[in-house]
Amino acid sequence: MNGGLNIFSLIADSSWPVKLVLLALLAFSFMSWVIIIRKYAQTKAAMESAEAFEERFWSGGDLAQLFREVSNRGASNGGIENIFESGFREFARQRQRKSHDARSVIESSERAMRVAGSREIGLLERNLEFLANVGSISPYVGLFGTVWGIMGAFQGLGEMKDVTIAVVAPHISEALIATAMGLFAAIPAQWMYNRFATKVERIASHYEVFQEEFSSVLQRQIQTDDAA
């Protein structure tokens, strides 16, 4: 009690299997935080980009001009801009064919937007499965290290004649550090997975609403062109 809890000493005195477990959990934790930081920036940028683009989209400007601006940016586009670009490009291509079937034109545009939307959501969902896996298996990996450490501790203690709590406690502490490390890796990963999954679902709904609204705009555009 006077010396306090020295985690580094406990890790250094643990057996090699327990050290390997701790190293694996540390790697899981590090990779999880890398993904968490990237996903935070990615989802934030996707939502802000969608809101900024929709503000421009509904400002009443020329859609053809907006399409040219988006197309000129090329690879820098992302999210809802790609959905708009794919839908409008397909719409323009079908109209250039002088197709008088408005339903076919709209369906082709909607199909192009759905493909682009699925691609964008897939990018947002990438690596989320890793966070879910870390959140679910890390406690069990840590528990394995704990069980192994306790087995080794009791095997060593069995060879001693005098066994007191002062002798047993350090060995048990060495084993339990693996469980603590498992929770350290699992809790942030599982928490942020749930958070990002909700954010991605919200962004996906945002994209779907935009696709429906854009389809209505294109349909009105066809009616206006045909009337002219």
pLDDT tier at 202, thresholds 50, 70, 90: very high
Domain count, the chain: 1
- Which residue in 190, 177, 130, 156 sits closest to 5, CA to CA? 177
| Residue 209 lies inside a defined structural domain of this protein | yes
Residues 12-71: tens digit of each pLDDT: 666 677 788 889 999 999 999 999 999 999 999 999 988 888 888 888 778 888 888 888
Contact 211/86 with Cβ under 8 angstroms?
Answer: no
- Which residue in 50, 65, 117, 45 sits closest to 86, CA to CA? 117
Residues 116-128: tens digit of each pLDDT: 999 999 999 999 9
| Residue 94 lies inside a defined structural domain of this protein | yes
| Residue 203 lies inside a defined structural domain of this protein | yes
| Residue 169 lies inside a defined structural domain of this protein | yes
The domain of 192 spans 7-227
Distance, CA of 21 to CA of 9 (rounded, Å) = 16
pTM of the full structure: 0.81
Residues 66-94: tens digit of each pLDDT: 888 888 876 666 788 999 999 999 988 88
Contact 147/174 with Cβ under 8 angstroms?
Answer: no
| Residue 155 lies inside a defined structural domain of this protein | yes
| Residue 2 lies inside a defined structural domain of this protein | no
Residue 98 is classified by DSSP as T
| Residue 96 lies inside a defined structural domain of this protein | yes
Contact 175/110 with Cβ under 8 angstroms?
Answer: no
| Residue 213 lies inside a defined structural domain of this protein | yes
